[in-house]
Amino acid sequence: MSVLRPSVAPHHKALQAPPLTTALGVTAGDATEVTSRVLAVPDCGTAVPGSEPLRLMAVHAHPDDESSKGAATMARYVREGVAVLVCTLTGGERGTILNPAMEQPGIRENLAAVRREEMAAAREILGVQQRFLGFLDSGLPEGDPPPPLPAGCFALEPLERAARPLVQAVREFRPHVILTYDENGGYPHPDHVKCHEVSVEAFEAAADPDRYPDAGEPWQPLKLYYHLSFHRDRMLALHEAMLSRGLQSPYADRIARAQSAAESGERQPLAVTTRVPCAEYFEIRDRALLAHATQVDPQGGWFRVPMEVQRAAWPSEDYHLARSVVDSELPEDDLFAGVREKVSL
């Protein structure tokens, strides 16, 4: 294919949500019936015999991030025949144990190995391919002032060295679409910020034969998205849905914080350009997340909103289209909008 130059998607005003009908023709709010046929993972990433399979790459900082950001989207695309590869930049070696039930002898000392096993289980549940890119977790510096980052960690790697394995993975896997975090990393963990930087670098450099010349044959990814997992409209919808059912909402504080950050001009939220309907895959997402047993408390905040409420109030996972070299009309309900046409040519 010809090499196209990436362009920055224009800034969009707040967008009206597209209608939420899934690719299976099920209106998301009714999507409580799930058949094993629909949820079975196909043998290979071939949607239509004879056509090139679509490929999606998700770049994440730590094992467990793939299950908390975009997991239902990946579960859906895999089951529709898209090849999905998760690239996990670090081994999560410096993570803390966030589930009291996992505070057991042998876990903390072997956290790196335990997290690899957890990742293997989550990968199976989601049905995705996954590879570790071999960097060392930087840890989340806590304290005032925060301590310096540990020598040799991912966040301290110079950009070219930090991006090289990802450029190589992009040139090997040849994704049409890449998912990553925004400039702030979604939340301010140094590995998440660095994940954003290496993803943008790889998106821009992978097609250029003069850059990273010994890292494989050039490949031009077509779209780059940022996850918008916890934006205000979604939290507000879930909050109101909980209150209207007489349930306690876990979101009041977060909504107030998001509101004051927006009002102070501290951070302007990115526009939601793309809502991927995936309500019938929320259960798979939760199972994958629970497979990261050291990282999530089954009694904790993640699971406070009943599935029925989530499906009814906000049946999508949402994204900001950051770069694109294909045309697509915004708002979108498909990460491959504008790509399908190009790939089938």
Candidates 19-27, 62-70, 139-147, 225-233: pick the segment binding Zn ion (CB under 5 A).
62-70
CB 334 within 8 A of CB 176: no
89 binds Zn ion (CB under 5 A): no
Count of residues binding Zn ion (CB under 5 A)?
Answer: 3
**Site for Zn ion (CB under 5 A): which residue of 54, 55, 65, 277?**
65
194 binds Zn ion (CB under 5 A): no
190 token code pair: 């140094």
Distances (CA, A) of 65 to 54, 69, 204, 259, 312: 23, 6, 23, 25, 24
Q: For Zn ion, which is the closer residue by CB, 65 or 157?
A: 65
Q: For Zn ion, which is the closer residue by CB, 176 or 227?
A: 227
Q: For Zn ion, which is the closer residue by CB, 196 or 323?
A: 196
- Closest CB 283 distance from Zn ion, rounded Å: 22
- Closest CB 65 distance from Zn ion, rounded Å: 4
Candidates 53-61, 117-125, 262-270, 335-343: pick the segment binding Zn ion (CB under 5 A).
53-61
61 binds Zn ion (CB under 5 A): yes
CB 339 within 8 A of CB 222: yes
DSSP letter assigned to residue 281: G
R_g over Cα of the chain:
20
Q: How far is residue 27's CA from residue 18's CA, in Å, rounded to a whole number? A: 12
Task: Point out which residues pair with 241 in neighbouring strands.
Answer: none
Phi, psi of 158 (to 5 degrees): -60, 150
62 binds Zn ion (CB under 5 A): yes
CB 178 within 8 A of CB 220: no
- Closest CB 274 distance from Zn ion, rounded Å: 22
- Closest CB 61 distance from Zn ion, rounded Å: 4
332 binds Zn ion (CB under 5 A): no
114 by DSSP, 3-state: which? Answer: helix
- Closest CB 69 distance from Zn ion, rounded Å: 9
Task: Point out which residues pair with 321 in neighbouring strands.
Answer: 225
**Interface residue list for Zn ion (CB under 5 A):** 61-62, 65
